[in-house]
């Protein structure tokens, strides 16, 4: 069964601190892995997208890693800001075919709260 | 604004009424997707267009749901005879016709509440 599991479920950190979110997946066939940020009541915003051949990808203060052998990914946030408070969702595309955005396996997300 | 635009942002309707949502994708994005998201869950795929052609519909899309993309640009999603179980966030996303690793860009969503 295709699954994406994330940990921790929720996290509270102080502004300025770093944090790392984890994602484990069992999805086949694997096409790519994305990290999305979703604020409450709004649509997901893409942070990174990685194929199996990519080990790391950065987007500003966000750095994602991917280990396709162990099927694990992480999202590292450096120098956190209050605006980073959101749900961070790991999503794996399960299809190698065109139009693969219709076969997305979503994790339940990590709810991050950044406190002053 | 060059992002995906959805209208309205919120809709409250009485059970049994029909509702229609609109999505304007990013300009020149050939692919357009509709998803439904309930609280605490990831978005569930509903349907997908490539240009004006509706190429796939999920089993979640009952007969009461219909989607169109008549000119290959904006799309509408209509729900007829709404039920309380239809209450959810309806998300639209678009992507260019490039390769299999093209990510989807999401709109802000339309939150539907059926009372």
Average pLDDT over residues A37-60: 92
CB contact under 8 A, A104 and B50: no
Question: Which residues of chain B are at the A interface, by a Cβ-Cβ cutoff of 8 Å?
Answer: 4, 6, 31, 33, 40-43, 45, 48, 50, 55-56, 89, 91, 93, 95, 97, 99-109, 111
- pLDDT of residue A100 exceeding 80: no
pLDDT in tens, B71-85: 889 999 999 999 999
Taking the C-alpha atoms of residue A105 and residue A3, their distance in angstroms, rounded to an integer, is 7
Strands A10-14 and A110-115: parallel
Task: Report the percent of chain A where pLDDT is more than 90.
Answer: 74
Contacts of B109 in chain A (CB under 8 A): 41-43
- Please tell me which residue, A31 or B78, carries the higher pLDDT value: B78
Q: Could you tell me which residues come within 8 angstroms of residue B112 by beta carbon, excluding any fewer than 6 positions away? A: B11, B12, B13, B19, B21, B79, B82, B86, B87, B88, B89, B90
Burial code (b: 16+ CB inside 10 Å, e: under 16) for B58-79 equals beebeeebbbebeeeebbebeb
pLDDT tens-digit map of B20-66: 999 999 998 899 999 999 988 888 989 989 999 998 888 888 899 99
């Amino acid at each position: 069964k295709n699954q994406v599991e994330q940990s921790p479920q929720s996290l509270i950190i102080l502004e300025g601190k770093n944090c790392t979110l984890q994602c484990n997946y069992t999805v086949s066939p694997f096409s790519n892995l994305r990290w999305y940020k979703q604020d409450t009541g709004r649509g997901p915003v893409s942070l990174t997208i990685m194929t199996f051949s990519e080990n790391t990808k950065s987007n500003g203060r966000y750095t994602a890693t991917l280990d396709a052998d162990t099927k694990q990914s992480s999202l590292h946030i450096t120098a956190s800001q209050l605006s980073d408070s959101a749900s961070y969702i790991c999503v794996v595309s399960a299809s190698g075919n065109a139009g693969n955005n219709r076969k997305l396996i979503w994790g339940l997300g990590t709810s991050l709260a950044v406190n002053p | 604004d060059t992002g995906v635009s959805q209208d309205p942002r919120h809709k409250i309707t009485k059970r049994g009424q029909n509702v229609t949502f609109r999505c304007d994708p990013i300009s020149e994005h050939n692919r357009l997707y509709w998803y439904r998201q309930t609280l605490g869950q990831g978005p569930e795929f509903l349907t997908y267009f490539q240009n004006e052609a509706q190429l796939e519909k999920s089993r979640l899309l009952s007969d009461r749901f219909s989607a169109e993309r008549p000119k290959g640009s904006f799309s509408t999603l209509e729900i007829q005879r709404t039920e309380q179980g239809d209450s959810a966030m309806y998300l639209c996303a678009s992507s260019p016709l490039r390769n299999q690793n093209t990510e989807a860009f999401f709109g802000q969503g339309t939150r539907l509440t059926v009372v």
